[in-house]
Structure 1
Amino acid sequence: MKKLLLATAFALVAGSVGAQDAIKIGTEGAYEPYNYIDQATGELVGFEIELGAELCKRAGLTCEFVQNDWDSIIPNLQSGNYDAIMAGMSITDERKQVIDFSENYTPPSKSAYLALSADANIGEGAVIAAQTGTIQAGYIAEQAGNTLLEFATPDETVAAVKNGEADAVFADKDYLVPIAGDSGGALVMLDNDVALGGGIGIGMRKSDTELRAKFDEAIKAMKADGSLNALIVKYFGEESDKF
């Protein structure tokens, strides 16, 4: 299901625009509720898919989401396989060295730990699972005494906790909370939230300044009229951080 650049049937059409205004947006399709596959339809759905549709409409763009594995999502942007990234990607100084970002469309997110029990060890000697190439993996790598266990996909990080390979998984809290809720008590959230990054934004090539300006204007408009906060509440709940 996660084949490189698997185009979904879901096209985001925004009126009558020229071919130069038709773009592709890369996403992972494995990070619920940000972006994931609807098992009934096989289509990409989630917060970023719905948000992308609205942003493209406001920006006068015709957009199509395509699926790409996380570990090659930036290289394939740079090589021109798509024009933008909407994949739960936090804005960081390290990433800004190689790509550009739009305005953030979520506030700085909280990262959290998920484990088999509330007293799980996440300190000295702990083995912590995280998805490779994420700010969470970078954070754990810098913690003295922890061992970082990296995986290509987020579901593999959770599986590592379930099968005893890791003491806990460290990831976006918004991703982990529903997993804990659906586990029937088998997995629990730990009370050790960490604020990382500068919020989530649209990744683009540094040369695409016009595209960035269009997306920035659309994001600012959604912040101003409250529609972005409404979408955040729809997918992440009333208690989520908003603008």
Structure 2
Amino acid sequence: MKSTLIAAAMAALSFTAAQAADLGGAHLKVGSDTTYPPMETIDPATGQVVGFDVDVINAICERVNCTAEFVTTAWDGIFGALQQGDFDLVASGVSITDERKQTMDFTDPYIIVSQSIMLRVEDEGLTIEDFKTKGLKLASQTATTNATLAEELVGRDNIALYDSFATAVSALQNGDVAGLVIDGTSAAAYEKEFAGELIVGITGLQADPLGFVFQKGDERVAAFNEGLAAIQADGTLDALVAKYWGTE
């Protein structure tokens, strides 16, 4: 799965920590669908939001003088809630797309992920062609680029959409669907959680850059880009990638 993950080593991110902006100690509320390990999830022991996105946001805030409070928000409606001012930004494994950029602003990419298809272990070996010719259903989360890809692969009639990936995973386990289109980063987490039951069966599909999302025109995007550049330059971002997904 490590081959599906690329830290966003963008040449433009060449600032140093000393050059990062200062947000003056601002306390930022961060909207996040906290049902998507390892990007963001709730630690059952502490009740706290944890994950890769959380660590990246906190690292950026250390560089640009802010603090972050994660607010659990359902994916369906998360961008509307941002526009209404329920929080300051969204950090939830969000793919940067031209359509989304029309109504919201993104930071520079902080990671690039490849989409994958999860299968039950007993179905290992299924191909995309099998899904097409046998009418097998693909699941995904509604209003995601994963869902868009699923429709492109097998057509709208052969996909089942769910409010969360956790629900979609349950549908796959129960045999309600034959596969699940999901980012490879999170597929690896589910494969580990349900070892011997679910596998990442098809990899190397569409690659998506992920970014943090602000309201259109929010000047703090520039500060976050500088903070992102700083944690890339000093090795923090690479260390976080290694923490969650290991090294090649």
Q: Report the equivalent of 2:10.
A: none
Higher relative contact order (CA 8 A, sep 6+): 2
* In 1, Cα distance between equivalents of 2:210 and 2:74: 18
Residues 65-76 of structure 1 correspond to what in structure 2 (within 5 A)?
65-76=70-81
5+ residue gaps, structure 1: 1-15
Q: Give 1:219's aligned amino acid.
A: L
* In 2, Cα distance between equivalents of 1:233 and 1:135: 25
Q: Report the equivalent of 1:110.
A: 114
2:124–2:199 contact (8 Å) kept in structure 1: yes
* In 1, Cα distance between equivalents of 2:116 and 2:154: 18
1:113–1:193 contact (8 Å) kept in structure 2: no
* In 1, Cα distance between equivalents of 2:32 and 2:193: 24
Deviation at 1:144, TM superposition (A): 4.4
SS at structure 1 position matched to 2:94? coil
Q: Sort the Cα spacing of 1:17 and 1:183 in 2 relative to 1 into closer, same or farther, 3 A.
A: closer
Q: Sort the Cα spacing of 1:153 and 1:144 in 2 relative to 1 into closer, same or farther, 3 A.
A: closer
Residues 52-131 of structure 1 correspond to what in structure 2 (within 5 A)?
52-106=57-111, 108-116=112-120, 117-120=123-126, 121-124=130-133, 125-131=135-141
Query: Cα deviation per residue 1:68-97 (whole Å; 9 max; x = unaligned)?
Result: 111111000001000101111111112111
Q: Which runs of 4+ in 1 moved over 4 A?
A: 16-19
Q: Give 1:229's aligned amino acid.
A: D
Instruction: Choose from 213, 225, 228 the match for 2:234.
Output: 225
* In 1, Cα distance between equivalents of 2:201 and 2:23: 48
* In 1, Cα distance between equivalents of 2:192 and 2:67: 37
Residues 203-214 of structure 1 correspond to what in structure 2 (within 5 A)?
203-208=213-218, 210-214=219-223
Q: Report the equivalent of 2:38.
A: 33
* In 2, Cα distance between equivalents of 1:223 and 1:18: 22
SS at structure 2 position matched to 1:49? helix
* In 2, Cα distance between equivalents of 1:22 and 1:180: 35
Q: Report the equivalent of 2:7.
A: none
Deviation at 1:53, TM superposition (A): 1.0
Q: Give 1:69's aligned amino acid.
A: A
Higher fraction of helix: 2
Q: Report the equivalent of 2:11.
A: none
Taking only aligned residues, the RMSD between alpha carbons, in angstroms, comes to 1.8
2:139–2:180 contact (8 Å) kept in structure 1: yes
Is residue 189 of structure 2 the alignment partner of residue 178 of structure 1? Answer: yes
The normalised TM-score by structure 2 is: 0.83
2:32–2:90 contact (8 Å) kept in structure 1: yes
1:151–1:157 contact (8 Å) kept in structure 2: yes
- Paired residue total: 220
Greater mean alpha carbon deviation, residues 185-194 or residues 146-155: 185-194
Q: Report the equivalent of 1:46.
A: 51
Query: Cα deviation per residue 1:54-76 (whole Å; 9 max; x = unaligned)?
Result: 11121111321111111111000
* In 2, Cα distance between equivalents of 1:174 and 1:83: 25
Deviation at 1:222, TM superposition (A): 1.2
* In 2, Cα distance between equivalents of 1:225 and 1:179: 30
Higher fraction of strand: 2
5+ residue gaps, structure 2: 1-21
The normalised TM-score by structure 1 is: 0.85
Deviation at 1:145, TM superposition (A): 4.8
Q: Report the equivalent of 2:161.
A: 150
* In 2, Cα distance between equivalents of 1:176 and 1:151: 16
